[in-house]
Amino acid sequence: MALLQISEPGASPQPHQRRVVVGIDLGTTHSLVAAVRSGVAECLPAEDGRVLLPSVVRYGAGTQRAIGWKALETPENSALAASNTIASVKRLMGRGLADVANASLLPYALVDQGGMVMVQTQQGLKSPVEVSAEILATLRQRAEDSFNDDLFGAVITVPAYFDDAQRQATKDAAQLAGINVLRLINEPTAAAIAYGLDNAAEGVYAVYDLGGGTFDISILRLSQGVFEVLAAGGDSALGGDDYDHALAAWALQKLGKTADTSAQKTAAKNAARQCKEALSGLSNATQSIAIHAHPEWVFGPLEVKIADFEAATAALTARTMSAVRKALRDAQLDKVDVKGVVMVGGSTRMPQVRRAVANFFGSEPLVNLNPDEVVALGAAIQANQLAGNNPGNDLLLLDVIPLSLGLETMGGLVERIVPRNQTIPTAMAQDFTTYQDGQTALALHVVQGERDLVADCRSLARFELRGIPPMAAGAARIRVTFTVDADGLLSVAAKEQGSGVEAHISVKPSYGLSDEQIAKMLQDSFSTAAQDMAARALAEAKLDADRMLMATQSALAVDGDLLSEAERTTLAQLMQTLHNTAAASHDPAQIEAASKALANGTEAFAAARMNHSIRQALAGRTLESL
């Protein structure tokens, strides 16, 4: 009789085998990857032990590129590198050139191509999706190295205020990086998952998320494993970067200087950021920090007090609090109803931000979790559940869409079908009719936003319903259904109820990438795949060589007297050859050959050491005692 392996719905069919899944926080300034190991969510470190990966990509000559910390290293040609070092690309995701605020402050050039913003580099035009894919691929590799296994999938976080185009661009970037997206979830919701499960919190909480490039505020109700988002708001073009720019502008004005070139803009922003971080560690408003950068004609030195920094950025902090008040109104709650405020994002370390939140809610915000890591940790917990790795710990996540979805009607007006802050996944429908006698087709224009005029909202897609039987105006009944999935992505269907004629579109925003574009980018990525594999093989070969040299050196230090002078000379020559080859060669095969030669050369030594150890262990022992 055959036995069948059965499992609970959503659980792994082989309970002893866990799927490798992670949570990824794709941030404006830094990105992280986290996973649940031994029942605990933790951020995965790189080889150097650091968990934070700067969200920066520098494009060099040919196909060379540096990602993360390496991209921040100062190269020989710093002026050229500044214009090819792409940071804060998250602010460009799903945007057109007209949508990008303060584009002139960026050290790299932006170009409009078919309604989508592109970045000019010495390797040609790069889309924000491509740049983000480089960062995601690095995190995917880190995860696979950590588990020594292929990645099954990932939960990727996005700002709560990301619209459909920005979410689709994020999903495109993950696909380009070879990552299976289990779900996109809002960053504040991910933070609430991590905080709620760690602290067994219940009640209404506000999540104040101020990152490097985006600000989100979410009002959530936590109750017995149910995370219900009551309202979400914020500003996808407000973050720590703007505090840096504001402080840099203030300092330049005080000094009577300007930053015109890419190198000058980068130096000014970096100096301002360093000053901001130093000031955030002070407690007295009269204390000051010297702000300066090279070259001297760009910045300072200039003494900056905490009060100066707060005055220069007061308008930005006020914008965040305005969004907080709006989110509370949307949730139909008063600030006294909020049990606590969870602070998320590295920018919440600024004292003026924490003080503004404390003054508004009348209590100190909750800062007991690392604001840089909490989003990734929450995403990892959600990924672990979606993969069926922990079916006993049920978690129900009720997220919302940030902006209303609707159709253009006559006169350029918007008819909202799905209101903002609607819980997802959801499907909502509304009936429409024809405008003219004998009309056999209907053009549908899908938009997103809160304004009443189409011109003030974001265009998402256009499609047509054809084959409507000729009727008098107003006689046809056309039902349009909007379906929003758990990722917050939209599909729209239109059906004439009488004839059954229908049309359907999975909304692919004009600011996203078409399937053909993604396919081409995947094909293009093959050209650098060989380079990446070669670089990885070289690094591994050098690491193996170092280990071999260290092991041999240690053995010689302990048992070198077991060898003759000639044998020691031979081993020394083999070791020197391996050392020189590993230092000079860029061919993994050469290094591996030198390592193998040393391994073969030490076989007799290893046997002699074994025999010596056995003799020592048996010395003075009789056969009977053994």
pLDDT in tens, 360-400: 999 898 887 788 899 999 999 999 988 887 665 566 677 77
What's the CATH architecture for 401-513?
A: Sandwich (2.60)
Q: C-alpha angle 405/167/525, rounded to 5°?
A: 145
What's the pLDDT at 10? 45
Known catalytic membership, residue 209: yes
Is 25 noted as a catalytic residue in this protein? yes
Is the preceding omega at residue 588 within 30 degrees of 0, hence cis?
no
The verdict on whether 520 is a catalytic residue reads no
Backbone torsions φ then ψ of 61, nearest 5 degrees: -70, 150
Q: Which amino acid is at 578?
A: L
**What CATH number belongs to 529-618?**
1.20.1270.10
The confidence score (pLDDT) of residue 510 equals: 52
Contacts of residue 544, Cβ cutoff 8 Å, sequence gap at least 6:
591, 592, 595
Active-site residue, from 163, 164, 209, 308: 209
- CA–CA gap between residue 595 and residue 454 (Å, rounded): 68
Q: Residue 557 above 50 pLDDT? A: yes
What is the C-alpha separation between 559 and 551, in angstroms, rounded? 12
- Cα angle value 317/320/326 (rounded, 5°): 145
CB 403 within 8 A of CB 59: no
Mean pLDDT is lowest, of 138-152, 342-356, 370-384, 400-414, for 400-414
pLDDT at 526 over 60: no
At 322-331, the pLDDT tens digits run: 999 999 998 8
Nearest to 130 by CA among 145, 147, 148, 117: 117
Is residue 135 within 8 A of residue 57, CB to CB? The reply is yes
Distance CA 238, CA 216 (A): 9
Residue 471 has, within 13 A of its CA and on its CB side, a CA count of 17
Q: Before 295, cis peptide (omega within 30)?
A: yes
Q: With bands split at pLDDT 50, 70 and 90, how would you rate the model's confidence at 3?
A: very low
- Per-residue pLDDT, 79: 58
pLDDT tier, 58 (very low <50, low <70, confident <90, very high otherwise): very high
Percent of the chain with pLDDT over 70: 85
Tokens representing residue 176 in the block:
């380009």
Question: How do residues 428-440 score in pLDDT, each as one tens digit?
Answer: 998 888 777 888 8
Q: How confident is the model over 295-334, as pLDDT tens digits?
A: 544 566 778 888 888 999 999 999 999 999 999 998 899 9
Determine if the peptide bond prior to 425 is cis (ω within 30°): yes
In order of 254, 414, 440, 482, the CA distances from 409 in angstroms are 52, 6, 17, 16
Q: What rounded mean pLDDT belongs to the chain?
A: 82
pLDDT at 425: 85
Per-residue pLDDT for 171 more than 80?
yes
Q: Please report the pLDDT score of residue 525 as a whole number.
A: 52
pLDDT for residue 300: 63
**Of residues 134, 163, 164, 187, which has the active-site annotation?**
187
Is the Cβ–Cβ distance between 471 and 444 less than 8 Å? no
Q: pLDDT-based confidence at 6, cuts 50/70/90?
A: very low
pLDDT at 290: 66
CATH topology of domain 21-239+316-398: Nucleotidyltransferase; domain 5 (3.30.420)
C-alpha distances in Å from residue 187, one per residue of 152, 177, 196, 380, 547: 21, 20, 14, 12, 42
Please report the pLDDT score of residue 2 as a whole number.
46
pLDDT over 70 (residue 8):
no
- What are the domain boundaries of the chain? 21-239+316-398, 401-513, 529-618
- pLDDT category of residue 511 using cuts at 50, 70 and 90: low
Q: Provide the sign of the torsion angle of the four alpha carbons 506, 131, 160, 461, taken in this order.
A: negative
pLDDT band at 528 (very low <50, low <70, confident <90, very high): low
CA distance 293 to 29: 20
* Pairwise CA distance, residues 540 & 49, whole Å: 17
- Length of the chain counted residue by residue: 626
Position 18 pLDDT exceeds 80? no
User: Is residue 408 flagged as an active site residue?
Assistant: no
Give the SS3 label for residue 174. Answer: helix
